[in-house]
Amino acid sequence: MARRKIIAGNWKMNMTPSEAVKLCAELKDLVKSDEADVVYCVPAIDIVPVVEAVKGTNVEVGAENMYFEEKGAYTGEISAAMLKDAGVKYVIIGHSERRDYFKEDDVLLNKKVKKAIEAGLTPILCCGESLEQREMGVTMDWIRLQIKSDLVDVTADQVKELVIAYEPIWAIGTGKTATTEQAQEVCKGIRDCIAEMYDDATAAAVRIQYGGSVNAGNAAELFAQPDIDGGLVGGASLKADFGKIVNYK
């Protein structure tokens, strides 16, 4: 059975609540699709108004981050249960900006993955290499380490339901995009890694996105690759072009 495409927008730290509602209205008719899952991963303060704004549409809402504890003295953090209760379905975990700027390591991210699954959220687990790592020829070594570390004690059935997003750090927000061949090669490498960790059926089921300057001009070619099941889209998700990415065919 063919894997259903999943195209998610990562809004990052953009859009006030009122701006978010306006954008949802602008994109509503543009992102209609019967062939792909569409997700807006929005800033925490936008979650409640965006959930309300997309009611009755094909769009699901995701969070950009969460903490692994259920409740307590963790000022500024948001729990998986809070997200679930607010209507969130997906949560980005381990984006390179979280790993880099906020020093989130794989031990922490593994806790987040397991807590998200426990709460009934679908993790969008990010992985990717720096330009230096690619030039050193250690791309797959690095990504395999991330995947294996982040999925410790996660079962095959749970992995089948999550999403993995490959984002080469050097292509995020730079306008540079991995070539179609580079993106497919790494996404296949991730699938092969999952097969080694679990089995072929699990590897065949898990959806793997490509992210890194995805736009209306390159989406169709990227998403046509056998191991690329959609995209995690940054800047292009904040404008009308997102509709062209969703409806890439």
> Rounded mean pLDDT of the chain?
96
Question: What does the pLDDT average to over 194-219?
Answer: 96
Catalytic residue among 60, 64, 95, 97: 95
DSSP 165: E
Specify the range with the lowest mean pLDDT, choosing from 32-36, 113-117, 161-165, 170-174: 170-174
Amino acid 1: pLDDT:
60
Which residue type does 46 have?
D
The pLDDT of 192-219, averaged and rounded, is: 96
Active-site entry in 60, 97, 129, 167:
167
Percent of the chain with pLDDT over 70: 100
How far apart (Å, rounded) are the C-alpha atoms in residues 196 and 201?
A: 11
**Helices 139-150 + 106-119 axis angle, to 10:** 50
Q: What pLDDT shows up at residue 52?
A: 98
Q: How confident is the model at residue 145 (pLDDT cuts 50, 70, 90)?
A: very high
Above 70 in pLDDT, residue 173?
yes
- What is the rounded end-to-end Cα distance, in angstroms, of the chain? 20
Half-sphere exposure of 182 (CA within 13 A, CB side): 17
Give φ, ψ of 111 to 5 degrees: -65, -40
pLDDT above 70 (res 63): yes
Angstrom distance (rounded) from CA 84 to CA 234:
23
Domains of the chain as residue ranges with CATH: 5-246 (3.20.20.70)
pLDDT band at 144, cuts 50/70/90?
Answer: very high
Q: Is 167 a catalytic residue?
A: yes
pLDDT(64) > 80 = yes
Inform me whether the pLDDT recorded for 83 exceeds 90.
yes
Average pLDDT over residues 104-130: 98
pLDDT at 178: 84
Q: Return the amino acid letter for 159.
A: V
The amino acid at 175: G
Binning pLDDT at 50, 70 and 90, where does residue 213 land?
confident
- Rounded to an integer, the average pLDDT of 10-29 is 98
Q: Kindly state the average pLDDT of the residues 203-232.
A: 96
The arithmetic mean of pLDDT across residues 143-148, rounded, is 98
CA pair distance 231, 214, nearest whole angstrom: 7
Across the range 204-214, mean pLDDT stands at 94
> Average of pLDDT values for 71-86?
98
What pLDDT band is residue 165 in, cutting at 50, 70 and 90? Answer: very high
Percent of the chain predicted with pLDDT > 90: 94
24-38, 164-178, 218-232: lowest mean pLDDT where?
A: 164-178
How many angstroms separate the most distant Cα atoms in the chain? 48
Beta strands at 90-93 and 230-233: parallel, antiparallel or unpaired: unpaired
Task: Yes or no: say if 105 and 23 are a contact pair by the CB < 8 Å rule.
Answer: no
97 is catalytic: no
